[in-house]
A = this chain, B = another copy of it.
Amino acid sequence: MEIPPAVIDIIHRALEEDTGPGDITSTLLIPEQNKSKAIFIAKGDFVVAGIPFAKKVFTILDSSIVFKPLFNEGAKIKKGDIIAEVSGKTLAILAGERLSLNILQRLSGIADLTRKYVGKVAGTKAKIVDTRKTTPCLRFMEKYAVRIGGGGNHRFGLFDGILIKDNHIKAVGSIKKAVERAKTGHHLLKIEVEVENRQGLMEAIDAGADIVMLDNMSIDEMEGAIKISQGKVILEASGGITLENVREIAETGIDLISVGAITHSFKAADISLKIIT
């Protein structure tokens, strides 16, 4: 993965947010030339994600800092593990401490929760995917963490996939008309339609949708949908997915299960940074 320019800009913004006109404590306490070595220690068990972004935080602050990861992205970390080492000017290490931790903790939390969902559906054909319910400005990082956790991505934004939702259908008048207009879009984009019932599904298939999102359907309804579809479209389950019900949903034979919770209601991993020398 190359970090795209827009994401580097977000990291800059986040550094400005935290450092503002400077780290007053560290500036008062620590001479500019001081050097230190610090470690990132796990305070719990989790799947780690976000190391390349944590590293970027420090290299933006000071290109001479050395950041050495001790685990690969996606590794299962145990409490007490040292995830990475960082060496260089103490002031730069302290300036990057909180942001690098905030990123690592969140992305690891996402990867860890994703891994749990993925584990639940093991052996079925269902793929766990994310949604656009990501944190404003952090979508690239969060969708990356989903992949590290073994999940797949749904479209990134409003521009890389055609997804006709209830509000569109309401505004246009019918699924048929909506799909028709959508087909005038560019040829590399498939068309997905969100439906709420069997009737909607049949209309979407007839209209030529490539994927149909089954919104908040019961297990029975989903099974019915799969029978109707007969593989003509990709089917995505969406809405109300939990760790408790995801297996049952996967076993219906559905293709995709999109889970908002993996990016909006995860538990951050517990990690801290300690200066050791």
Contacts and interface: CB of A to CB of B under 8 A. Distances in A.
Interface of A: 1-2, 4-7, 9-30, 32, 34, 36, 38, 60-62, 89-92, 94-95, 97-99, 101-103, 105-106, 109, 129, 132-140, 143, 152-168, 170-172, 178, 181-182, 184-190, 192, 210-211, 234, 236, 255-256, 260-261, 264-268, 273-275
A124 to B, nearest CB: 16
A132 B268 CA distance: 14
A153 to B, nearest CB: 5
Nearest to A131: B98
Contacts of A19: 4-6, 157-159
A21 B140 contact: yes
B10 A13 contact: yes
In this complex, the member of A101, A143, A189, A256 whose beta carbon has the largest number of chain B beta carbons within 10 angstroms is A189
Contact of A158 (B26, B105, B140): B26
Contacts of A97: 167
Contact of A189 (B7, B95, B129, B190): B190
A267 B109 CA distance: 13
A162 B27 CA distance: 10
A170 B97 CA distance: 15
A161 to B, nearest CB: 3
B94 A185 contact: no
A27 B267 CA distance: 28
Given A102-B136, A105-B133, A211-B187, A162 B14 contact: no
Contact of A265 (B32, B135, B211, B268): B268
A2 to B, nearest CB: 5
A143 B24 CA distance: 13
B21 A4 contact: yes
Contacts of A2: 22-23, 27, 32, 61-62, 89, 91-92, 95
A20 B4 contact: yes
